[in-house]
Structure 1
Amino acid sequence: MIIVTGATGRLGRQIVGKLLESVPAETIGVSVREPGKAAAFAGRGVRVRAGDFTEPSTLDHAFEGADQVLLISAAIRGPRAAEASRAAVDAAVRAGASRVLYTSHQAASPDSLFDPGRQHAAIEKHLAEQNVAYTALRHGFYTSTFEHYVPAALRSGEFRLPADGPVSWTAHADLVEADVAALTKPGLFDGVSPPLTAPGLLDFADVASILSELTGRTITRVVVDDEEWKATVIAQGMPDAAAEFTLGMFRAARAGQFAVTHPALEDLLGRPATSARAVLEEILPGG
């Protein structure tokens, strides 16, 4: 049985939907914090069980009978993220899974300036220490991040953000295909995968130019001092910890830590990866 965690989230929901196109429903199980939200999958014959990375005792039942477990990294900030994901790895091993897969990040590194990069590196290390086959799927930076910044830029005509750098923006849908391939094709991406990224590198100045072309309006990139930006967003209601977390993304980007591309994703897809421009077109009103 293939167990997918976080199956009611943005990534997990799409992965299970794609899996259902290629394997029987009765061979899929999902581990979710709120089983009621996975009722649609249960109605299609998928096994739905409650499981929470932060309550490891729930995972033994959720992972029962697992052959493969795909651990979608916990949506938690800071060291607790690694602690929760580490507990999930241990539960998958206890359940007897022959292979554990984990959604990591292309910038996974103990030295990353982006907190998730450090947490992903810790989990990759923990996976390598287990006596089980594993795959760390190093996802490119999600294009869904644009959704946090584009609406404000459209309202004001400006991207008022800290200094950044080039990022290999990659669409969820493409990574879903890669993750499902890893689950259904034995031997694909053993160990740590290559960076699973789209081929292009864009910074927010590039994004502003694309939006200007798409909307026929001038969208300007304005670089704001880190502390000025932080003070502004905190005054607007963002918690201090969240602001500092977000600044880590900009610091890592301008240090070149997201300026990584690799052909592995397009090779697997057998087609060009979804472009950032295409994603921006979808985000725009009426897209």
Structure 2
Amino acid sequence: MSTTPAREAGRSQAPGPGVLAVTGSTGALGSRVAALLADAGRPQRLVVRSPERAPKLPGATVAVADYGDAAAAEAALSGVDTLFMVSAAESVDRVTHHLTFIDAAIAAGVRHLVYTSFLGAAPDSTFTLGRHHYATEQHIHASGISHTILRDNLYLDFLPHLAVDGVIRGPAGEGRVAAVARDDVADVAVAVLGAPGRHAGQAYALTGPFAITMEEAAATMTAVLNRPYSYEEETVEEAYASRAHYGAPAWQVDGWVSTYTAIAHGDLAGVTDDVERIAGHPPIDFAEVLRRAARV
């Protein structure tokens, strides 16, 4: 576990959850958090861009706002005590949108912010998109708002999407990644949202139970999904070349390739016990993630 000191700058820490708001409820992580809160009978406000896509959950109301629209965000968050903020979709304006939304939350009177960041977020993260999270974290610290940071490793749920025609290709070498299940991150988030004051100023590193190589990931997919998968090593130059046909902007291709180089460098290999300590149960492994997905 790693911690960062809370900088309150005159703002009191939230003693309890109060009025809860959840962003990202139309996405893979936020929808899990919202559903768990609803199952527990917790009222919540779902802040979404497209109200027609918001899940229909008992005890949930819907407010409309985009991260980049300060006025709409402030209105949507009025009266909210605790906010679960899922990081925005990857874009060239991602950090600007994050900062706008955080400032709007503070202006609206939000007392505690729970933000989903990335493991090892730093100004020079090998995984280039981790730098977005570092900039966002720095703004949160400087703002003085009571906060909790969830620094997620790569998602185990994401690993199957790395395979194209059954082959994972990239410059990951023999590096390992302690990827974490979205289900476990959601469980941690719900635990934090239930007692935000207890977790104020904390930054939790959320990982799976052990670290795996891409070759091991392919082997697990083969065994569980009963069809062949493999890992094919690329050089960095080959990785850029093999992705050129997508026509994606340079910053996005950098993110794709650096996903693998971060694994190769060992940046994502560390295993923590933060999921078990906060959620109250051990994290699940890749095979269980695959089995759960197959049952949906």
Distance 1:190 1:39 in 2: 29
Does the CA-based 8 Å contact 1:60-1:94 persist in structure 2?
yes
Question: Where does residue 243 of structure 2 map in the other structure?
Answer: 233
Displacement of 1:215 in angstroms is: 5.4
Work out which of the residue numbers 28, 52, 57 in structure 2 matches 1:36: 52
Distance 1:123 1:195 in 2: 16
The Cα of 1:130 is off from its aligned counterpart by 1.7
Stretches of structure 1 that go unaligned for 5 or more consecutive residues are none
Segments of structure 2 that go 5 or more residues without pairing to the other structure are 1-18
* 1:34 partner letter: S
Please name the residue that 2:78 is paired with: 64
Runs of 4 or more above 4 Å deviation: 215-218
Match of 2:172 in 1: 163
* Cα distance between partner residues in 2 of 1:258 and 1:39: 33
Instruction: Give the corresponding residue for 1:184.
Output: 194
State the partner residue of 1:88: 101
In 1: Cα distance, 2:239 partner to 2:38 partner = 44
Q: Identity of counterpart residues, as a percentage?
A: 27
1:19 aligned onto 2:37: yes
CA contact (8 A) 1:138 1:196 kept: yes
The TM-score, its normalising length taken from structure 1, stands at 0.88
The residue number in structure 1 matching 2:6 is: none
Of structures 1 and 2, the one scoring higher in RCO (CA 8 A, sep 6+) is: 2
The aligned length equals 276
Shift of 1:216: 6.1
Q: Deviations over 1:7-39 (max 9, x none)?
A: 2111111111111123443xx111100011116
Q: How does 1:1-287 map to 2 (within 5 A)?
A: 1-25=19-43, 28-38=44-54, 40-41=56-57, 44-78=58-92, 80-150=93-163, 152-153=165-166, 158-164=167-173, 165-214=175-224, 219-235=229-245, 237=246, 239-241=248-250, 242-282=252-292
Match for 1:2: what amino acid? L
Q: Compute the displacement of 1:146 (Å).
A: 1.5
Q: What displacement does 1:192 show?
A: 3.5
In the aligned structure 2, how far is the partner of 1:39 from the partner of 1:148? 24
Q: Which moved more, 1:87-96 or 1:220-229?
A: 220-229
Q: Using the TM superposition, give the Cα deviation of residue 112 of structure 1 relative to its aligned residue in structure 2, in angstroms.
A: 0.2
Label 1:216 to 1:139 Cα distance change in 2 as closer, same or farther (>3 A).
Answer: closer
